[in-house]
Structure 1
Amino acid sequence: MTTTIIGFPRLGEFRELKFETEKYFRNEISADDLKAFAKELRQKHWNVIKDAGIDQIPSNDFSFYDNTLDTSVLFNIIPKKVKDLDFDELEEYFALARGYQGEKGDVHALPMKKWFNTNYHYLVPQFEKTTNIQVNTTKIVDEFLEAKELGILTRPVILGPFTLLQLGQYHDGTSSADFATDLLAAYQEVFTKLAAAGAEWIQIDEPGLVLDLTAEDIARFKEFYQTLLANKNGLNVLLQTYFGDIRDIYEEVIALDFDGIGLDFVEGKETLNLITNTPFPEDKKLFAGIVNGKNIWTNNYTSTFDLLAKLPKNVVLSTSCSLLHVPYSVENEVFSDEIKQYFAFAKEKLAELVALDKTDQAAIEKNNRIFKQERITANKALQEKIAQLTDADFVRLPAFDEREALQTDLLKLPNLPTTTIGSFPQTKEVKITRGKFKRGEITQEEYDAFIAKKIDDCIAFQEKIGLDVLVHGEFERNDMVEFFGEALDGYLFSKNGWVQSYGTRGVKPPIIWGDIARSKAITVQWSKYAQSKTEQIVKGMLTGPVTILNWSFPREDISIKDSTYQLALAIQEEVLDLEANGIRIIQIDEAALREKLPLRQTDWYSEYLDWAIPAFRLVHSKVQPETQIHTHMCYSEFEDIIQAIDDMDADVISFEASRSNLALLDALNRNNFQTQVGPGVYDIHSPRIPSVEEIKQTIGKILEKIPTDKVWVNPDCGLKTRGEKETYASLENLVLAAKEVREGLVND
């Protein structure tokens, strides 16, 4: 057997790419400086993979921001409004990724959505009538040649045409069929250029094949690849899939002239059955995804060898997906060796593949010892409490309509109440002060005084501009999941376990090590303090159990349902504590609700929604009817699970909607959505400042679809990652826009 991986983390061992790219954004380094740094980083990563003993190494898995965006740029799928501006290559690229507002023009960033069932975000390709598909950059060839100069013959990676067109949005009355012919010709040109450069393999990623496919989808895929594979220009073509199995199209795929086919044996529930019932062809390589690319636990070699014994001999050992979704290396952590032995980050997964390939006896014996010993002591009382939950524990009384009327009378908010999603900018000063406190360089009293002053200023600013429902700013919090995990039993925290979420944004998912319980209040101190500083309502801000689970590295020894219910009971205690301390509105964010939704619709309820939605209801089922419960969701497609979201029985739900052109509103109407809603009126992931008129127009579009008494006005996400200047200006414009629309409603 031989070994390979699908892709490698690109932010760097210590997020070097993030920091260099942000220097470029601040005009501290030039485009050439950034490109030179990126070249050094790519070379480092290729050598790390080579030195680990991996046989086949990918290239073009590197990106400054997002691989789907790279593919759009490669094929000139660039909106005309951006194309017409006087940008150089890198300026244009980042304008697509982040938006641009300056002397050259004003353009919005491309829409951003979750990448299948991960916390990674991709930028959605935009097809217009003026889109002229052609090969537009040399990146894929250049990076192959870079590695070749190092003596490393890589396998270039590219997102495939079926998934690219599947993910795209179409404008001006166009459809995917309008672009297929030109797109396939462009892929053929890439084949030709890579073959001329000396490439032997190309990896074409088609994760779209793991979704539910129609007969039309299957016919389209066959047509695409019959065309592409008719002239491979001497290249070996690897079709790579991940995040599930390809049960709808397996037989058609193995009948096509691929030289290798990558299948996921970790998340692909039916993958083994597929190759057992219809044997995998002997003339093709099976790239078997047997090491989990999405979780950080050590591979169980005994189980993996049992699986390998059932596979054909023509196998290349691989990861289940790109290692983009796990941190760089356990070497950079301060865990004890006793704990470290249970973890495998990206570098360690390389070693696992090599050990499995070479049947390294010493590694196998060590692995066997790990899995024979007890890792944790179970919390029997907590497990018993979950077992004794009844239907009544998941129902809030009275019903929504009665609560809504009561809350309207008590809260006395105006039409179109304004608020934010919760966090305010985490400035350099905030991060430095938090670091000093963690290192013991300042006392608890000094740190608390600093946080109190930040909250005072935040409350004063919100009162000054006229926001209706305030927040305390979350200056004491590092990450919306890590902050809660640090206060819960059962969690571990890495020091450098960063994973790319989008662009330069990294997250450091905490690790669920054991049973989860709340041993102390988490948010009460600062929520209560903020409320004491104003007569206006201050929202309590919490992260919901499903999001905490989905943005953590979960256990593999119990179900994610059981872990989520443990979290729900812990957050329920926090909700009731906030309510008892006078907090009248409590927001329980479920930004990642959709993230673990099975990719196949037939599994949505039986494997996820049947317990994920009740887990949220469990959190707030015991609050008083006067307490208003909010939640927030972002950067996913929610239209097809709107009814399930309504079943969460929150009082107000805010959605990311600005990058999706408010498409969600039609789905709300179709499903007779009862909950009050706050569709985001501007995109916080872009540094541009929306004008009053722009926000007014957005509110106007919302009011065309949603009754006025059901609408809240807010940004589309938290403001933690933004600068203070753009944040304050944007919020001032938001409040002014809402007031002007209100006045217009009164005058009408």
Structure 2
Amino acid sequence: MTVISSNLGYPRLGEHREWKHLLEHFWQGKLDEPEFHATAKRLRLTNLKKQRDLGTNLIPVADNSDYDHVLDTLVAFGAIPARFGRFDHRLSLTDYYAIARGTKDAVAAEMTKWFNINYHYIVPEFDNVHFQLLDNRWLRYYQEAKTELGIDGKPVILGPVSFLKLGKRAGQPLTAAEIAALLPRLLPLYVQVLQELAAAGAHWIQLDEPTLVQITRPAELEPYTEALTALHTAVPAIKIELQTYFDSLDRYEQIVDLPVQAIGLDFVHDHGENLQHLRDYGFPADKILAAGIIDGHNVWASDLHAKFALVQELQTLTAPDHLWLQPANSLLHVPITTRNETKVDPVLLGGLAFADEKLRELSWLTTAANDGVQAVQAAFDANQTKLAALNQSAHRNNPAVRAAEATLKTQRFERQAPFATRIQSQHARLKLPLLPTTTIGSFPQSPTVRAKRAAWRKGNLSDRAYQDFLHTETKRWIKLQEQLGLDVLVHGEFERTDMVEYFGQKLTGFYATQNGWVQSYGSRGVRPPVIFGDVAYTEPITVAASVYAQSLTKHPVKGMLTAPLTIINWSFVRDDVPKARVQNQIALALRQEVLNLEKAGIRIIQVDEPALREGLPLKRRHWQAYLDEAVYSFKITTSGVRNDTQIHTHMCYSNFGDIIATIKALDADVISIETSRSHGEMISAFEQTGYDKEIGLGVYDIHSPRVPSVPEIEANIQRALRVIDARQFWINPDCGLKTRHEAEALAALQNMVAARDAIRAQLPTATHA
């Protein structure tokens, strides 16, 4: 029996973020399009060669991107929003990036989270769309790999049904009828892509249909069946690996009978259900099982003995020579290699596996499956030794944390008084005007800010000099906020590289990687902290910065924290204990920080939970447990303050309508939510359900360099005020301003304040009732 190893996708950023710098240098005009493409090609070939050298048998091609793979798909098939122009040819980089980033005259396409992880994709718009194949990018990259490296790759293509389901029409997800109408117009282009690949000698394609894991009713399978039948009939020479990930298949029996040659299943994030399906119903003898056995969304080394036991069982459930071993999802979502982590505790390092190490694990498991464990015995033995050392270390056995966890059973986490009582105390203390105006938290991280922080980290700038710089920058922005006319100020977060990483650096049980970068959106890379041990609070984290900023102004300055669930969702979390347990450890630590901020005189404390909605399990049957855990940890963090201390929270992205009850249950006094890129969809959710607390629906998009006009922001405010009482409403941008240039941020805020003033003048009173 021959088992082979396969990969689903490789990280784009480059070991030293070469891809990120490439994009940004092009945007800054530092290189032209031919130079861009030459450098991008070198990076692609380096990534392909590395996968081959690590022993990967079936290597993905065309999984690379110049921004986002969904954007690549809509551009390739001509599904370009009309506001960006009409095209009959492959787009230039300038036109391509206009869709993602916007222009002076055209709002950027909506961006939202990829299923329930911290990656953002560009949302296709299918209004008056005229599909046409403008670029067979899959053919270009297949030929490049074959010609340059001799790699007969596996082109990765987003499937037609998922492509349609990920998009919108008239600002709303497509209905089944709309998908049925658009699919026949799109399928001929997919057929053309496959025909050209077949003519070039391609044998396999990886057709990603991740939305299959959300199918619950047989009727929902009809468009997938239509699409796959059409492709198989028209291009029988191409073999299709139908790839799913992030969860199990509820319609397993029907899906494995679809007309494809391989089925990719996730055996990591499936709650054990996919494996049980195989045991209960078997697997077709004429199909290959592409088994996702390595976690592509976390950084922990696999237990090779446990994985090999799974492989052995899968071998008994599939026909001979019909098993591939691969990650459970694309490795896009993990860092590239641990070899650049030169300062990490060796005990922790032994338990880590980034993309390259995961491919090496797959190679070992493939060898073990074909030649026996003895062929890789040394690797298996070393793996067991390293995992035991981490699990038995003091990092994961902290008596103080165990004692704190035990107290949870005896405590009740609720605010002292109901909101109606609290808000009166807060209004009396804060004395804010009607439509209070603020920002979400961060201000632009200029090259100077980043350079000073880097110099301090390297020891080239003293602690005192760095602190003086932070104070100078904070003082400057406090004055700018006062000049702009904001009502509630922030200190700017100049000391923070990232809203999660920063807290990870201050709490025990976290490791801040040196080069563990992961793409979030476009060129934006984040370094998710690694939660590897028990989490504990050791000293105040944000108090000094908040107190200093408050000393500079009479306006309230918000204390700024990141909430437990977001820290969990934007970190790589230890996998030896339940996530909820780690989440509550973080909440207990942050509770102490909240109380210390209050004790220091901070009147407003914002505990941001932007990742709550994005982390929802893909299957509704798992939602309630997740949401209950989120509410519980948030209340642990925030419920200890006095009635007149105002708790804020912030959440990102749309589609909150189905968790309004949870938003209310958090019991935050003020919530701010992104709405601009989603064209106000959130407003209708609040119109339907009502909301009795205070709220800010973001009035302009911070992810685009475009500066919105005053009338545009006014229109967004007016639309919200048709649903939400002015006495409840706050004015704020969508999100933090960290990624914007200073001039962009100031111009947009100036317009936001002007729009607020115009609307305030139309209201009967200027203060909270």
Normalised by the length of structure 1, the TM-score is: 0.97
What's the counterpart of residue 715 of structure 1? 733
Q: Is contact 1:415–1:708 with CA below 8 Å preserved after alignment?
A: yes
1:535 and 2:569 are equivalent in the alignment: no
Q: 1:382 to 1:188 in 2, by over 3 A?
A: same
Letter in 2 for 1:46: L
Pairs within 5 Å for 1:321-720: 321-334=329-342, 335-359=344-368, 360-373=376-389, 374-377=391-394, 378-390=397-409, 392-606=411-625, 608-635=626-653, 637-720=655-738
> CA offsets per residue over residues 432-482 of structure 1, 9 Å max, x none?
111111112121111111111101100000001100101111111111111
What's the counterpart of residue 154 of structure 1? 153
Secondary structure in structure 1 of the residue aligned to 2:703:
coil
Q: Is contact 2:171–2:679 with CA below 8 Å preserved after alignment?
A: no
Counterpart CA distance in 1 for 2:292 and 2:324 is: 9
Counterpart CA distance in 1 for 2:411 and 2:109 is: 44
1:210 and 2:213 are equivalent in the alignment: yes
Q: Is contact 1:170–1:176 with CA below 8 Å preserved after alignment?
A: no
Counterpart CA distance in 1 for 2:339 and 2:232 is: 42
Secondary structure in structure 1 of the residue aligned to 2:436:
coil
Secondary structure in structure 2 of the residue aligned to 1:6:
coil
What's the counterpart of residue 731 of structure 1? 749
Counterpart CA distance in 1 for 2:106 and 2:485 is: 28
Q: Is contact 1:113–1:637 with CA below 8 Å preserved after alignment?
A: no
1:271 and 2:287 are equivalent in the alignment: no
Counterpart CA distance in 1 for 2:542 and 2:645 is: 17
Counterpart CA distance in 2 for 1:375 and 1:196 is: 56
1:283 and 2:286 are equivalent in the alignment: yes
1:387 CA displacement: 2.7
Counterpart CA distance in 1 for 2:686 and 2:187 is: 37
Q: Is contact 1:114–1:636 with CA below 8 Å preserved after alignment?
A: no
Secondary structure in structure 2 of the residue aligned to 1:394:
coil
1:110 CA displacement: 1.0
1:276 CA displacement: 1.1
Q: Is contact 2:261–2:288 with CA below 8 Å preserved after alignment?
A: yes
What's the counterpart of residue 24 of structure 1? 26
Q: 1:538 to 1:400 in 2, by over 3 A?
A: same
Counterpart CA distance in 2 for 1:638 and 1:575 is: 26
Counterpart CA distance in 1 for 2:260 and 2:338 is: 36
1:318 CA displacement: 0.3
Counterpart CA distance in 1 for 2:157 and 2:448 is: 41
Counterpart CA distance in 2 for 1:85 and 1:61 is: 24
What's the counterpart of residue 121 of structure 2? 122
Q: Is contact 2:606–2:647 with CA below 8 Å preserved after alignment?
A: yes
Pairs within 5 Å for 1:43-192: 43-84=45-86, 89-101=92-104, 106-129=105-128, 131-149=129-147, 150-171=149-170, 175-192=178-195
Q: 1:88 to 1:599 in 2, by over 3 A?
A: closer
1:24 CA displacement: 0.6
Secondary structure in structure 2 of the residue aligned to 1:596:
coil
- Percent of matched pairs sharing the same residue: 44
Counterpart CA distance in 1 for 2:440 and 2:187 is: 43
Q: Which moved more, 1:324-333 or 1:440-449?
A: 440-449
1:743 CA displacement: 0.4
Coordinate RMSD, CA, aligned: 1.7
Letter in 2 for 1:344: A
Secondary structure in structure 2 of the residue aligned to 1:497:
coil
What's the counterpart of residue 254 of structure 2? 252
Q: Is contact 1:195–1:233 with CA below 8 Å preserved after alignment?
A: no
Secondary structure in structure 1 of the residue aligned to 2:534:
strand
1:376 CA displacement: 2.4
Q: 1:292 to 1:747 in 2, by over 3 A?
A: closer
Counterpart CA distance in 1 for 2:577 and 2:162 is: 33
Q: 1:401 to 1:494 in 2, by over 3 A?
A: same
1:747 CA displacement: 9.3
Q: Is contact 1:393–1:621 with CA below 8 Å preserved after alignment?
A: no
Counterpart CA distance in 2 for 1:505 and 1:124 is: 17
Counterpart CA distance in 1 for 2:658 and 2:393 is: 39
What's the counterpart of residue 372 of structure 2? none
Q: Is contact 1:222–1:252 with CA below 8 Å preserved after alignment?
A: no
1:392 CA displacement: 4.9
1:639 CA displacement: 1.9
Runs of 5+ consecutive residues of structure 2 not aligned to the other structure: 369-375
Secondary structure in structure 1 of the residue aligned to 2:329:
coil
What's the counterpart of residue 373 of structure 2? none
Q: 1:94 to 1:261 in 2, by over 3 A?
A: same
Q: Is contact 2:180–2:223 with CA below 8 Å preserved after alignment?
A: no
Counterpart CA distance in 2 for 1:172 and 1:352 is: 43
Normalised by the length of structure 2, the TM-score is: 0.94
Q: Is contact 2:139–2:196 with CA below 8 Å preserved after alignment?
A: yes
Counterpart CA distance in 1 for 2:406 and 2:120 is: 36
Tell me how many residue pairs correspond in the alignment.
741
Q: 1:172 to 1:605 in 2, by over 3 A?
A: closer
Letter in 2 for 1:99: G
Counterpart CA distance in 1 for 2:348 and 2:715 is: 54
Q: 1:143 to 1:372 in 2, by over 3 A?
A: same
1:212 CA displacement: 4.4
1:637 CA displacement: 2.9
Secondary structure in structure 1 of the residue aligned to 2:764:
helix
Q: Which moved more, 1:631-640 or 1:612-621?
A: 631-640
What's the counterpart of residue 371 of structure 2? none
1:220 CA displacement: 2.5
1:725 CA displacement: 0.6
Counterpart CA distance in 2 for 1:627 and 1:172 is: 38
Q: Is contact 2:540–2:593 with CA below 8 Å preserved after alignment?
A: yes
1:119 CA displacement: 0.5
Letter in 1 for 2:393: I
What's the counterpart of residue 303 of structure 1? 306
Q: Which moved more, 1:578-587 or 1:391-400?
A: 391-400
Letter in 2 for 1:672: G
Counterpart CA distance in 2 for 1:222 and 1:453 is: 62
Q: Is contact 1:134–1:182 with CA below 8 Å preserved after alignment?
A: no
1:746 CA displacement: 3.4
Q: Is contact 2:573–2:579 with CA below 8 Å preserved after alignment?
A: yes
Counterpart CA distance in 2 for 1:390 and 1:622 is: 16
Runs of 5+ consecutive residues of structure 1 not aligned to the other structure: none
Q: Is contact 2:171–2:678 with CA below 8 Å preserved after alignment?
A: no
Q: Is contact 2:26–2:32 with CA below 8 Å preserved after alignment?
A: yes
Q: Which moved more, 1:431-440 or 1:631-640?
A: 631-640
Q: Which moved more, 1:543-552 or 1:81-90?
A: 81-90
Counterpart CA distance in 2 for 1:519 and 1:212 is: 46
